[in-house]
Structure 1
Amino acid sequence: MTDKLELNTNAYLPLRDVVFHTLREAILKGELKPGERLMELQLASKLGVSRTPIREAIRMLELEGLAVTMPRKGAEVAKMTEKDMEDVLQIRKALDELAVGLACDNMTEEELKQLQVALKNFEESTRSGDVKQIAQADVEFHDAIYQAADNPKLVNMLNNLREQMYRYRVEYLKNESIYPRLIEEHQGIYDGLKRKNKEAVVEIVSHHVENQEIVVKNIIQEQE
């Protein structure tokens, strides 16, 4: 187990959430490797907490697909598989296409301005070198579209999918060479929504998700 593991303290979060964010970041950074066991006693000792928040944090990691409990072995860091990634992105693609189509019909001028701000924030974030910040800016760009779709049930489904998407989003955004294309795709989505060109904007969103799938699939294959 990595020696770098330290509790990222936050006075405003429950301890289980602090432990969860600490372990999640260690997994996404590769400090905790795929297949590495998540032993409650060892983690509790290393982070200076009891086993209860460790156990709760591991359950939260399982919801994100970052951990898996194996029979007779206990929890371990989940390996990324092509099938899991394809399943998640297949759902995301269908829901994103629906969301952007609805946003094309329902987006107000104020919501379009908010999307433009999110577009600029994402572009600025790509110069930060902070993948976590870039991922958050990417989430905020897409969230602006989801809210404009004006369908709370759809937004709820997308929020539930967000946790399973996070690992693949971060893996994708670790590759700096894709930033110019991502910015161009976000600009195309914004322009399509501004023109209310539903057919064009749905097509851009479709390619947007497909491009992510291609890059992440290559990453998974290289790790095998």
Structure 2
Amino acid sequence: MSQEISATMNEYLPLRDVVFQTLRQAILRGELEPGERLMEIHLADRLGVSRTPIREAIRKLELEGLVVMIPRRGAIVASITEKDLKDVLEVRRTLEIMAAEIACDRITPELLQDLAEAGEEFRKLKDSEDYTSLAAADVKFHDVIYAATDNQRLISILNNLREQMYRYRLEYLKDTDSHEKLDGEHQAIYENIKNGDKEAVCAMVGQHIDNQKIAILAAIRENEKKKAEKA
């Protein structure tokens, strides 16, 4: 196991749900890496639980596509594939554009200020190699736009897509050359929402997602190339 993981118990959730969420977040955040074996006994010992909730969690993770079952090897963390990325971004691109367009009409002065501050927080971190903090700042910026839609169904779907994107976002942010570009895109999105320019903000959000797609695909291909060279 690449990193130490621990379960945060919640008296309002069944143990199986706590274990599932713990393992899910560990995968999404890269604490359990693609290709890593998920051994029930080892995980049960680490989390201080029996093997039953571990087994149930692995089954649910398999249904989500985060885990695959390999003959004679058992459960392993699913690799980041080009198909997965394209599927997620295809949906996310459309909904992010929708959210930004709605935000032009509905954003409050308070949320507009929050958006400016979130953009500034990312800007302060853009020269950093603290990818986790950078990812959190990026998430915060987009969260303000989601909140500005005042549409709970849309927010729920986008939050789910955001979690699925977490592994990919970290790959993107490892390319330090991308940070300046991201900062500029955030600033343009903020200005367009502030001015209520729907056409401009839709174009910029689309470009923002497209640039991520290009960069992450390059990272995935580079990782696959390195694996092939080692084989």
TM-score by length of 2: 0.82
Cα 1:33–1:144, aligned 2, differ >3 Å: closer, same or farther?
A: closer
Matched with 1:7 is 5
Deviation at 1:164, TM superposition (A): 1.3
Matched with 1:20 is 23
Cα 1:23–1:105, aligned 2, differ >3 Å: closer, same or farther?
A: closer
Deviation at 1:143, TM superposition (A): 0.8
The 8 Å contact of residues 8 and 22 in structure 2, kept in 1 or not, is answered as no
| Matches of 2:167 and 2:181, distance apart in 1 | 20
CA RMSD in angstroms comes to: 2.7
Most deviating of 70-79 and 127-136: 70-79
Cα 1:37–1:45, aligned 2, differ >3 Å: closer, same or farther?
A: same
| Matches of 2:209 and 2:25, distance apart in 1 | 28
The 8 Å contact of residues 119 and 141 in structure 2, kept in 1 or not, is answered as yes
Most deviating of 168-177 and 38-47: 38-47
* Matching residue's letter, 1:178: S
Matched with 2:42 is 42
Most deviating of 145-154 and 96-105: 145-154
* Matching residue's letter, 2:30: L
Matched with 2:229 is none
Cα 1:82–1:22, aligned 2, differ >3 Å: closer, same or farther?
A: closer
Matched with 1:200 is 200
Q: Secondary structure at the match of 1:186?
A: helix
| Matches of 2:218 and 2:111, distance apart in 1 | 36
1:90-116 CA distances to partner (integer Å, 9 max, x unpaired)?
Answer: 100000011101111111212111111
Most deviating of 89-98 and 58-67: 58-67
* Residue 163 in structure 1 maps to residue 163 in structure 2: yes
| Matches of 1:22 and 1:161, distance apart in 2 | 13
* Matching residue's letter, 1:223: N
The 8 Å contact of residues 115 and 141 in structure 2, kept in 1 or not, is answered as yes
Q: Secondary structure at the match of 1:28?
A: coil
Unaligned runs of 5+ in 2: 225-231
Deviation at 1:128, TM superposition (A): 4.4
Matched with 2:90 is 90
| Count of equivalent residues | 219
* Matching residue's letter, 2:27: R
Unaligned runs of 5+ in 1: none
| Matches of 1:33 and 1:154, distance apart in 2 | 30
The 8 Å contact of residues 63 and 164 in structure 1, kept in 2 or not, is answered as no
Matched with 2:74 is 74
| Matches of 2:61 and 2:143, distance apart in 1 | 22
| Matches of 1:124 and 1:58, distance apart in 2 | 39
The 8 Å contact of residues 24 and 61 in structure 1, kept in 2 or not, is answered as no
Cα 1:58–1:134, aligned 2, differ >3 Å: closer, same or farther?
A: farther
**Superposed counterparts of 1:1-224, under 5 Å:** 2=1, 5-8=3-6, 10=8, 16=19, 19-20=22-23, 23-24=26-27, 28=30, 32-45=32-45, 48-55=48-55, 57-58=57-58, 61-62=61-62, 65-70=65-70, 73-224=73-224
Cα 1:119–1:69, aligned 2, differ >3 Å: closer, same or farther?
A: same
| Matches of 2:124 and 2:20, distance apart in 1 | 29
